[in-house]
């Protein structure tokens, strides 16, 4: 029997291409340079200046908006209820009182009623949702409809915490010196303004005769020249 032995070089240790000719081949994304914005250039990070400007190049960004809570609406038409009245009465899903029939759509597995079909009987229907035409048809036939009330959130006002009398008295004592300081400061400012006004008035009084003398001298010079 001839014994076969595996070659040691079949795993191509140390080889960069592993028999595929180039590094870019046999890489899972074709012969292109990667997927999306992969790679920073053919040689020597040629695309690096572009990447520096793009702040969102590296890492993950943003968030996923959570799915809104959607209500599954299961609707039924008026004509189907009237067509199946006998079977629904036999199953005790509909109650008959005199000429009217009371129907709770939850018992039937529905939550909305639609208006297709003509009504010849009185229906008292309880449901979560209903179209406007369906409501009009039920009321015109002498029946009634009860819809689910919309929940309105009541905004509760937080009760204000009343401070004890001792704390309020302490605060008043602390605020008094502050008010006194403010009043003193305001008085000082008013006094400074009044002093400045008085000084300006005295300057004007002193400067008036000097100006008058200068005017007279100029007038005399003009007369002499003439």
Cα–Cα dist 27/101, whole Å: 72
Contacts of 144 by beta carbon, 8 Å cutoff, 6+ apart = 124, 125, 138
At residue 69 the predicted structure's pLDDT band, cuts being 50, 70 and 90, is low
User: What is the average pLDDT across 108-132?
Assistant: 89
At residue 75 the predicted structure's pLDDT band, cuts being 50, 70 and 90, is very high
* Domain ranges across the chain: 75-147, 173-220
Nearest Cα to Cα of residue 19 among 29, 28, 9: 9
CATH classification number, 75-147, choose in 3.100.10.10, 3.40.190.170, 1.10.8.10, 3.30.499.10: 3.100.10.10
Cα–Cα dist 183/166, whole Å: 26
User: Between β-strands 100-104 and 122-127, what pairing exists: parallel, antiparallel or unpaired?
Assistant: parallel
**How confident is the model over 7-33, as pLDDT tens digits?**
766 788 778 888 888 877 777 777 666
**How confident is the model over 130-183, as pLDDT tens digits?**
999 999 999 998 888 988 877 666 767 777 666 666 666 666 666 767 777 788
């Amino acid at each position: 029997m001839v014994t076969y032995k595996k070659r040691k070089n079949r795993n191509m240790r140390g080889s960069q291409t592993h028999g595929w000719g180039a590094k870019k081949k046999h890489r899972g994304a074709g012969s292109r340079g990667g997927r999306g914005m992969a790679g920073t250039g053919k040689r020597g990070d040629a695309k690096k200046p572009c990447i520096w400007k793009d702040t969102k190049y590296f890492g993950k960004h943003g968030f996923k908006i959570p799915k809104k809570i959607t209500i599954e609406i299961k609707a039924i038409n008026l004509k189907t209820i009237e067509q199946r009245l006998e079977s629904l009465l036999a199953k005790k899903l509909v109650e008959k009182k005199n000429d009217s029939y009371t129907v709770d759509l939850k018992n039937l597995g529905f939550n909305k009623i639609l208006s297709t079909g003509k009504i010849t009987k009185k229906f008292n229907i309880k449901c979560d949702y209903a179209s406007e035409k369906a409501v009009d048809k039920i009321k015109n036939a002498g029946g009634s409809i009860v819809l689910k009330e919309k929940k309105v959130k009541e905004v509760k006002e937080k009760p204000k915490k009343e401070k004890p009398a001792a704390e309020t008295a302490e605060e008043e004592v602390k605020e008094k010196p502050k008010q006194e300081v403010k009043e003193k400061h305001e008085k000082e400012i008013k006094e400074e303004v009044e002093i400045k006004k008085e000084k300006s008035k005295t300057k004007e009084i002193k400067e008036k005769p000097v100006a008058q003398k200068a005017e007279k001298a100029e007038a005399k010079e003009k007369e002499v020249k003439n």
